[in-house]
């Protein structure tokens, strides 16, 4: 299904970097509607402009916030570049009607090309916090920035969910409050401060172009699932773990945990997390497991038992922060925390888990800098992560 419609611009409701929200009138045999429409194009809109729009997601009642998307103006007098770039010829969304050329950091015309021809380029131990749900991005970034105010935190967005990063209100807000230094969009995702062709060069760009002290890699908004262990957006995180590990980074993984989701497969530890770690992640990762101090701990222990017994990954447990910490972070942020339609008061576990994981990452930076001096290009090994896990446990790291 690909549904298209023509509408007339009434006015521009909001304009931010990379995105505009328009009020558009559409007409049909049933009458007319005035609807909200998103545009990622760098062009001006005036009342009366006719737009061609993609209305598919709203028709299917998907989680786009009730927005249609602008394809372009119906009457364009001449050929126009609505997403200008400088040097790039690498195409994203290739061979679709919306393909666009971006300034990829790796390509030959890029000023950073000499950096990426180095065969031994690595992440130099840089900690990378990996998670499935975009809704946890603000909690993770704010918690990291609070305890590490001088650290450069860079967000790398893969292409497993939203492609235009401008769709993320969290990215806009985190930059506005000064907690997020830069963004990198990888694969077919686009619109970051830096563009890259692969997740590997995207991570390296975060470290060497944007000089990240800490990298956060989460999917964009709008993940998809099918109720199976094979067809869900988060499965891409296995590739992220592999990339971080083989490039010599230090991978941390936030498990998807909820006690507010009524679906059995997502209650406690989500089956998405179990599938990624048990079957698809072939490189070790440090998994942060929350301690709630009640009956929930026993459920999490049972659910994670197969992973613990297999010995493929390092599980590090830590006490979750009080709810007052979430309230404090949300107040500082200026927008509300919510995930899967539930705010943090209804379902605090996902946010407590992310906050605890961020604290582990922040407390690891100094240790990692010391430990990688002798082997900055070595892949992250199980023994290396085990030593880091022991360090965190021995020093009783708590949020």
Q: What is the pLDDT of residue 61?
A: 85
* Structural class in CATH, domain 113-394: alpha beta
Residues 290 and 399: their CA atoms lie apart, in Å, by: 11
Q: Please state the rounded mean pLDDT for residues 111-132.
A: 96
Judge contact between 277 and 311, C-beta under 8 A.
no
Query: Does the pLDDT value for residue 2 go beyond 60?
Result: yes
Q: Please state the rounded mean pLDDT for residues 342-360.
A: 94
For residue 190, list its beta bridge partners: 164
**Model pTM score:** 0.93
Residues 244 and 222: their CA atoms lie apart, in Å, by: 23
Separation of first and last alpha carbons in the chain: 47
Query: Does the pLDDT value for residue 127 go beyond 90?
Result: yes
Q: Give per-residue pLDDT as tens, 26-83.
A: 987 778 889 999 999 999 999 999 999 999 988 888 766 678 999 999 987 788 898 9
Task: Collect all residues with Cβ–Cβ distance below 8 Å to 281 and sequence separation of at least 6.
Answer: 237, 238, 241, 242, 312, 313
Task: Note the CATH architecture for domain 4-73.
Answer: Beta Barrel (2.40)
Q: What is the pLDDT of residue 370?
A: 82
Q: Do 113-394 and 4-73 have the same topology in CATH?
A: no
Query: What mean pLDDT is reported for the chain?
Result: 92
Q: What residue ranges do the domains of the chain occupy?
A: 4-73, 113-394
């Amino acid at each position: 299904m690909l549904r298209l419609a023509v509408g007339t611009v009434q006015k521009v409701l909001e304009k931010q970097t990379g995105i505009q929200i328009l009020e558009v009138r559409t007409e049909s045999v049933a009458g007319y509607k005035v609807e909200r429409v998103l545009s990622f194009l760098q062009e001006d809109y005036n009342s009366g402009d006719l737009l061609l729009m993609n209305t598919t997601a709203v028709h299917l009642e998907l989680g786009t916030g009730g927005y249609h998307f602008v394809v372009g103006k119906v009457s364009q007098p001449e050929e126009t570049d609505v997403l200008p770039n400088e040097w790039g010829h690498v195409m994203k969304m290739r061979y679709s009607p919306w393909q666009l050329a971006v300034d990829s950091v790796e390509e030959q015309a890029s000023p950073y090309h000499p950096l990426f021809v180095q065969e031994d380029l690595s992440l130099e131990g840089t900690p990378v916090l990996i998670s499935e749900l975009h809704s946890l991005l603000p909690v993770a970034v704010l918690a990291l920035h609070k305890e590490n105010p001088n650290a450069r935190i860079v967000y790398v967005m893969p292409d497993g969910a939203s492609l235009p990063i401008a769709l993320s209100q969290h990215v806009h807000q985190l930059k506005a409050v000064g907690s997020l230094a830069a963004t990198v969009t990888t694969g077919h995702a686009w619109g970051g401060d830096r563009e890259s062709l692969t997740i590997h060069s995207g991570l390296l760009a975060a470290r060497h172009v944007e000089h990240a002290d800490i990298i956060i890699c989460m999917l964009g908004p709008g993940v998809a699932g099918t109720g199976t262990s094979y067809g869900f957006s988060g499965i891409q995180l296995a590739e992220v773990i592999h990339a971080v590990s083989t490039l010599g980074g230090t991978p941390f993984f936030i498990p998807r945990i909820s006690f507010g989701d009524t679906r059995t497969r997502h209650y406690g530890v989500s089956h998405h997390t179990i599938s990624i770690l048990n079957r698809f992640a072939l490189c070790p990762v440090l998994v942060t497991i929350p301690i709630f101090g009640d009956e929930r701990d026993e459920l999490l222990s049972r659910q994670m038992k197969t992973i613990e017994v297999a010995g493929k990954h390092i599980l590090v447990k830590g006490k979750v922060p009080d709810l007052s910490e979430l309230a404090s972070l949300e107040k500082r942020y200026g927008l509300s925390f919510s995930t899967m339609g539930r705010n943090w008061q209804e379902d605090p576990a996902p946010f407590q888990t992310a906050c605890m994981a961020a604290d582990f990452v922040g407390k690891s930076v100094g240790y990692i800098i010391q430990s990688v001096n002798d082997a900055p290009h070595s892949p992250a090994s199980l023994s290396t992560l085990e030593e880091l896990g022991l360090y965190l446990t021995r020093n009783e790291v708590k949020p």
